[in-house]
Amino acid sequence: MSLHDIGTGECINTYMLISEITTKTIQPIKPIAPITPEKSRINALKTQKERANTALKSEQQRQQRTKAVAGIQKAQQSLAKINQG
C-alpha cells in the first residue's frame, strides 16, 4: 500500500478496496412513496392558487401602469394647452 503525506502530518491510504468505498461512501437510495390521489389534488390546487395570485398581481401592476401613463399623458396635454395659450 502506498501512503502519501498531505502536508498536515497525516498520511492517507490511496488504495482502498472497492468494498470499503461502497460501504463507507455510497448510501442506498430510499424509494419515494407514490402520491395518493388526495395529496395530488391538494398539490394541484396549491399550484393553481399560486398561479392565480401571480396573475392577480400582474394584472394589478398592469392597471397601475396604464393609469399612470394616462395621468402623464393628461398632464402633458394640460401643459401643452398652457404653453399655447
pLDDT attached to residue 19: 65
Q: Does residue 12 sit within a domain?
A: yes
Query: Domain residues for 57?
Result: 3-27+50-84
pLDDT tens, residue order, the chain (85 aa) = 445 545 555 555 666 666 666 666 667 788 889 999 999 999 999 999 999 999 999 999 999 999 999 999 999 999 998 888 6
pLDDT attached to residue 46: 98
User: Could you tell me the three cell numbers for 57?
Assistant: 398581481
Q: Does residue 16 sit within a domain?
A: yes
Q: Does residue 43 sit within a domain?
A: no
Q: Does residue 32 sit within a domain?
A: no
Residue 46 φ/ψ region, left for φ over 0, alpha for ψ in the -120 to 50 degree band, beta for the rest: alpha
Q: Is the pTM of this model over 0.75?
A: no
Q: Does residue 40 sit within a domain?
A: no
